[in-house]
Structures are given as C-alpha cells and as structure tokens.
C-alpha cells in the first residue's frame, strides 16, 4: 500500500453563494409593509494551509475531490442566509501549487502559510437591499454566484538542508540512519529506498535536516527509474552530498564515472548549479573499498570537491562529515535575506477604469462584452423574471456598457453576448434602456422587454441554414 505521495491532482470546488429572497412584509393592519427579503450567505472558500506535522499528500491521493459548503438562501423578515463554512486543507511544508498547464500558483513554505485555492461565491441580494425610490418593492432578488471550481496539482518539494544523492545501493540510507535517528529500510538490492527519508542531525550548536533521495540512474532527468519523481526534493537543499560506492560489485562502474553521470543528470534537471557539493567515499570498511578510495581521492580533490571517507557500518568518518555539513548549512542560512513578516498590500483599481471590454465577434455576429462586473451581474440575474432582466439592463447602462456599444458600432437590434464564448448570455440590444418607474409595470414585469427581438431571429435563421446545409451534406454522403 502506498504510504508516501508527493504529487496529486486535486479537484477543488468552493461553495456557491445563497440566493437572495424576494419577500414582502405581510402583517395585519399593515398592507404596505414593504420588501423584507434577506440576502443569501457567502459560499465557503477552499484554503490550503501549511502544517509542518504533515509529511505526505497521501490523504488527497485517496480523496482528490474536495468541496466547501454552500451559503444558505435568504428568507423573509430580513433574515440573511448563513455563510458557508471554509474548507481548510492542510498540506506539508514545501508544497507547490500548479494549474493544469504547469504554471505555479503558489509556493507554500513556512508554518501557517495559506493560499485560497477556490473562492466562494457571493450571496445574492434580497429585494430589501434592492429597493430604491424608483423600485419601492422589487419583485425579484439576485441569485447567488457559483463558487470557483478548478483542478490544481500539488507537488511536494522536501524542505531539507542537505540532500544525499547517488546511485542505488550506494549506502545513502545507511548513512542517514547513523547520522540521525531516521530508520529507513536498508537492504542489499537496488531501489530499496522508494520514498525520500528525512533525518535531523545535531552537530555542535547547529541542527539541520538531511534527506535521503532515492537512487538516481542515467536518464533520471528524463524520467528513467525514480529520478524524475524525486529530483525535485533536492531543489530546496543548501548542499548536495554525492555518496559514492567504493565497493561496487558491478564491473562496468567506478565511483568517478558515477559522479560524472549524477552531475550530468543534475545539470539536465537544472536549477542546482549554485549548490555546494561534498563527496563521500562510502564503504571504506571493505579492503577493496579503502584501496579504491585512496586511488580516486586526489583526482576528486583536484576537481575542487571536499572529499570525506566514511563507513556507516564501522561508524568511521561520520563526525567530520556531520560538522563539515553543519558549517556549510550555517553559512547558507547566514547568507539568506532576513525574513520579514508578510505585509498586506492594498491595490485599489483606478477610478476611471471601466472594468470591461467590448469587441465584435464577426463569426457569431455579436458584440461580446467581457469584464468582471458584467459577467458577475449576469450570473446573479434570474432570467425567468422580466423585472430582474430590466434591472440588469439598468446596471449595465450605468456602468457604461451602452456607450461602449455605440462607440463599437452597435445598432438597435444587434446581438450582444456577455461572458466567455462557451458560457455567454446573448440578447438583443435596444439603446436607452434606462426608464422611470412608470415603465416597470407590475412586480416581476418590465414593459421594455416586450419588444420583438430581430437579432435573435437572425441567429435562429442562421442556425436553421446551417442545419439545412448539414442535412443536405448527410443525404449526399451517407457514409
């Protein structure tokens, strides 16, 4: 059974906002009680929070679909709906959040670091909040917005100071088991280590963490073996330790060639050129191992490597190695810029920013309106209620959409689409939709919407022509 997972695809869905309520206060001897519909509650957010007690993404591997609760609808007597509860998902320290295209959305490092993966939908306003001098008793309320739903990828990059890299069976797990209190699985066959192991080492006054990365082989940076899955675990380390096997039983291998191959894989992976390297010649307790270490050590030192000889079995050379690593880690920590507390930065939008665009879509013969406010207002509109549609027209006019359509060349009866191409609301534009209260009619009605819709008829005619052409083609070519 899988016990360690460092990459998952997570499907998150924030809660939907509750619908507003359209209600009129009714009480004996108060025939004109006025609107009293309450607002809908806000949908819950999906929030990722770093918890250093968590070390794996296994929980989300088994349950990849997560959804926050919805906001409750409003009710009469000015009762607002209850807000949805935020869904807090704990992730390990060092988790990177990406979208499906591989773009980094957040790099979560440090206890308590948060990222809102899904924004909850706003609750709709009730008719009490929509009432005005012109609309004293609105017969409609705004719908709640749907919560944000998207697919994200979580990748875990181990937060450690030292990374042990090398060929399978080079003795990395044995080293970490004697340097720290970690108890990894140790056996005499390759790829015994299938997951990174972490250990804590104390050397004098310095305490640092060390990671045992699964064995690398040629082609690891392109996906061979386990390398591609675990090379990312060395990205955050301050120093890389090459563990070379001086007692290998394979005749076609030698420690220097192993070092060159691993260095090439690290180069292909990229981003690790600035990390200091240390070479550990392991298994010198074996006579042939000590002889080989004596032969290759001058060559490695000539290349500029700091070389240590060690044996996890005989417990030799470990103290010098641990203190040398502690010195490098201490220097790396001192060189890092001082961390400052997170500042809240407010960036208000410019006052003259319209917040929408109007473009002409020649293929569909419509003017397309894109913008946060227009699209949100469309999502909140109940199109089964004419008065609600009229209210939407008034809001768009006040925002300046009508003026922008005129500048773009739109004429009365032209089609206007608000929203993305795959989820747009299309209607026929009639200029000067603003009107007084005398135009509204009874509750839930708007006389401005009773006019014919020529643009809609043109679209239906084009669709009918396309359907006829498709049927003729099918009749002509039955295969």
- Per-residue pLDDT band for 476 (boundaries 50, 70, 90) equals low
Q: Tell me the average pLDDT across 428-440.
A: 57
Mean predicted confidence (pLDDT) in 167-174: 78
Who has greater pLDDT, 249 or 334? Answer: 334
- pLDDT: which is higher, 160 or 96: 96
Identify the helix (H) or strand (E) that includes residue 331: helix 318-335
Q: Which of 369, 366, 365 is nearest to 403 (CA)?
A: 369
**Least trusted range by pLDDT, from 6-15, 105-114, 164-173, 223-232:** 223-232
> What's the mean pLDDT when you consider all of the chain?
80
pLDDT at position 119: 93
For residue 225, the model assigns a pLDDT of 46
428 band by pLDDT with thresholds 50, 70 and 90: confident
Contact 356, 408 (CB under 8 A): no
- 376-380 LR contacts (CB < 8 Å, sep 24+): 376/122, 376/145, 378/418, 378/419, 378/425, 379/143, 379/145, 379/146, 380/122, 380/124, 380/142, 380/143, 380/144, 380/145
| Contact assessment for residue 60 and residue 7, using Cβ atoms and an 8 Å cutoff | no
- Contact of 434 with 401, CB cutoff 8 Å: no
- Predicted confidence at residue 183, as pLDDT, reads 67
* Angstrom distance (rounded) from CA 53 to CA 90: 9
> Has residue 374 got a pLDDT over 70?
yes
Judged against a pLDDT cut of 60, whether residue 436 lies above it is answered with: no
Reported confidence tier of residue 355, pLDDT bands at 50, 70, 90: confident
């Amino acid at each position: 059974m899988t016990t360690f997972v460092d990459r998952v695809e997570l499907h998150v869905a924030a809660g939907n906002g509750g619908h507003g309520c359209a209600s009129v206060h009714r009480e004996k001897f108060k025939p004109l009680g006025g609107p009293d519909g309450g607002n809908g509650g806000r949908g819950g957010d999906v929030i990722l929070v770093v918890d250093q007690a968590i070390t794996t993404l296994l929980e989300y591997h088994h349950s990849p679909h997560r959804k926050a609760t919805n906001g409750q609808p409003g009710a009469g007597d000015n009762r607002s709906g209850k807000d949805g509860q935020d869904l807090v998902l704990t992730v390990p320290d060092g988790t990177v959040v990406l979208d499906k295209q591989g773009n980094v959305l957040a790099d979560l490092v440090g206890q308590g670091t948060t990222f809102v993966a899904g924004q909850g939908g706003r609750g709709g306003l009730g008719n009490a909040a929509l009432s005005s001098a012109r609309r004293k008793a609105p017969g409609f309320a705004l719908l709640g917005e749907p919560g944000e739903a998207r697919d994200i990828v979580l990748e875990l990059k181990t937060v450690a100071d030292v990374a042990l890299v090398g060929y399978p069976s080079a003795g990395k797990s044995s080293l970490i088991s004697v340097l720290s209190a970690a108890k990894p699985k140790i056996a005499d066959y390759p790829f015994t280590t299938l997951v990174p192991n972490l250990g804590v080492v104390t050397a004098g006054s310095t305490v640092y963490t060390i990671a045992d990365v699964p064995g690398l082989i040629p082609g690891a940076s392109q996906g061979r073996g386990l390398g591609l899955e675990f090379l990312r675990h060395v990205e955050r380390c301050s120093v890389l330790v090459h563990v070379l096997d001086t007692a290998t039983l394979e005749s076609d291998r030698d420690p220097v060639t192993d070092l060159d191959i691993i260095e090439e894989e690290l180069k292909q992976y990229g981003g690790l050129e600035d990390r200091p390297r240390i070479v550990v010649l392991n298994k010198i307790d074996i006579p042939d191992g000590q002889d080989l270490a004596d032969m290759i050590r001058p060559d490695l030192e000539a290349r500029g490597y700091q070389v240590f000889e060690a044996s996890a079995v005989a417990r030799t050379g470990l103290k010098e190695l641990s203190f040398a690593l502690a010195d490098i880690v201490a220097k790396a920590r001192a060189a890092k810029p001082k961390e400052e507390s997170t500042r809240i930065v407010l960036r208000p939008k410019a006052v003259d920013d319209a917040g929408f665009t109007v473009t002409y879509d020649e293929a569909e013969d419509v003017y397309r309106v894109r913008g946060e406010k227009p699209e949100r207002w469309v999502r909140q509109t109940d199109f089964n209620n004419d008065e609600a549609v009229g209210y939407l027209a008034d809001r768009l006019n006040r925002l300046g959409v009508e003026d922008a359509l005129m500048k773009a060349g739109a004429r009365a009866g032209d089609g206007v689409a608000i929203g993305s191409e795959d989820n747009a609301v299309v209607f026929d534009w009639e200029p000067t939709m603003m009107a007084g209260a005398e135009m509204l009619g009874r509750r839930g009605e708007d006389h401005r919407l009773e006019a014919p819709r020529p643009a809609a008829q043109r679209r239906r005619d084009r669709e009918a022509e396309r359907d006829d052409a498709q049927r003729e083609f099918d009749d002509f070519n039955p295969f």
